[in-house]
A and B are shown apart, each in its own frame.
Chain A
Amino acid sequence: MVANSDNKKISKKIDELKAGVDWFYSDEFQLDEAADRYKKLNSLAQEIEKDLNGLKNEITVIDKDFSK
């Protein structure tokens, strides 16, 4: 189930990115912290793009004769 776990990792990263972006719009926003957080999110977006483009589907034709 490699494919599935890779998907979960990417989903986790996407959720992390969303939460990180939400912080910028929240009352917790602090300009002092913002630059560091922005750099981390930028790296995360790069990772998501790389991971998504690296994922390949596993398509298997079942070894069974359905005519019988």
Chain B
Amino acid sequence: MDNPVVYSVTEFQAICNQIIENAFTGAIIEGEVANFKLNQGKYVFFDLKDAESSVGCFMMAFSLRFPLEDGMKVRIRALPKLTKWGKFSLTVQAVVPVGEGSIKKSLELLKKKLSEEGLFKPERKRPLPSEISEIGVISSTQAAGYADFCKILNERWGGLKVQVAHTQVQGEVAADQIIRALQYFNERSEVQVIALIRGGGSADDLAVFNDEKLVRAVAASKIPVITGIGHEIDESLCDLAADVVASTPSNAAQMLSRDKNEIIDASWGNIQRINNLLNTRIDEKYREIRDLKLEAKRQIDVKITTFQRDIEGILRILEQFDPEKVLQRGYAIISGKLDVGSVVDITTNKKTIKAEIKEIKDRN
């Protein structure tokens, strides 16, 4: 021990921490939570343990994105550290539940908490604007869900101004990126609606949409938010906090746009209907004119028949006065001077007779 290096306790601990830091730039460790404690609403303490070992953990409460409780299996990213009291602990930078049971439990706890705060209340939901021309999209531009969204949007409608915030949509950093994108759109107020888009994936892939901070940011957005996350069966807490939920990215595009083909079909449908209506009206008018013509002809025929009957009646009357007809009935016409001794002409139906008048007497 010639000229040994002598450290103070503080120096020794600083050197140890430097060595540890160099060895572990960020250790990823899985274990079970025990002795979970939240102090002053700011500081989180728990032990991470397995069957044989245990290590103390510390983290700031704002870094905790999921509710934790004892017995949950978690994966942490942490920096190992020797405290000034000589205790070895892990300063946790990020923690996520792992395993189906823990993820489900964590999700249930968060859902209950946010629900009690009223974040999912139906009365908070705002409808989509009726005339949408400016849309903000938050998605990964490399994701299939984003491609589906754009494809459907372009097929259905044109003239929309779409601003896309490219973010990661899975993994540890995704939630913060999406939150920044939400803030970006809200600060500018240029878009009428924000679409949060992500295609299908495993429960782990979609876990970011259950991040507490992100769910709160969705609920707090001044601009209405529509989510189109995963497949129809997937439901995230972001869906519950959003104003409108689409079952998929394609469905979100459908809900945000009118279908130009429907409008074109409806326009031509209207033209066809008025064309039919016009033909019907023309047919009606034609039938009306034809009926009027027939009626006019009928009226003329009636008049002619009436006139004919009248004329026949008159002719029949006139016939009664025809002297020949009178003679035919056996009467005779006497013509000449009606004096005694005068010769008169007697005309019968078939003969003309000359006769002399012998006597004239009054009948009464």
Contact = CB atoms under 8 A, between A and B. Distances in A.
Interface of A: 1, 3-4, 6-7, 10-11, 14, 17-18, 21, 24-25, 29, 31, 34-35, 38, 41-42, 44-45, 48-49, 52-62, 64, 66-67
B177 A48 contact: no
B154 A57 contact: yes
Interface in B136-171: 141, 150, 153-154, 157-168
B134 interface: yes
A7 to B, nearest CB: 4
A56 to B, nearest CB: 5
B357 interface: no
B162 A58 contact: yes
A10 B160 CA distance: 13
B103 to A, nearest CB: 25
B161 A58 contact: yes
B260 interface: yes
Max count, chain A CB within 10 A of own CB: residue among B177, B184, B274: B274
A13 to B, nearest CB: 9
A42 B271 contact: yes
B162 A66 contact: no
Contacts of B177: 66-67
Contacts of A17: 267, 270
B354 interface: no
Contact of B260 (A3, A45, A52, A59): A52
Interface in B255-295: 260, 263-264, 267-268, 270-271, 273-275, 277-278, 281-282, 285
Given A17-B267, A21-B274, A24-B278, A56 B158 contact: yes
Most chain A beta carbons < 10 A, residue from B165, B270, B275: B270
B219 interface: no
6 contacts: A3-B161, A31-B282, A41-B274, A52-B264, A54-B158, A66-B177
A32 B131 CA distance: 37
A1 B274 CA distance: 36
A31 B281 contact: yes
A27 to B, nearest CB: 13
A58 B166 contact: no
Contacts of B161: 1, 3-4, 57-58, 60
Nearest to A57: B160
Contacts, number: 112
Contacts of A1: 133, 161
Contacts of A11: 131
A53 B166 CA distance: 28
A29 B277 CA distance: 11
**Candidate in B134, B141, B158, B268 with the most chain A CB atoms within 10 angstroms:** B158
A44 to B, nearest CB: 8
B181 interface: yes
Contacts of B154: 56-57
Contacts of B281: 29, 31, 34
B258 to A, nearest CB: 10
B178 to A, nearest CB: 8
A62 B184 contact: yes
Nearest to B162: A59
Given A60-B162, A64-B165, 20 more contacts: A4-B134, A6-B159, A18-B270, A21-B273, A21-B274, A34-B278, A38-B275, A38-B278, A41-B271, A44-B267, A45-B268, A49-B264, A56-B159, A57-B150, A57-B157, A57-B158, A59-B164, A66-B166, A66-B184, A67-B177
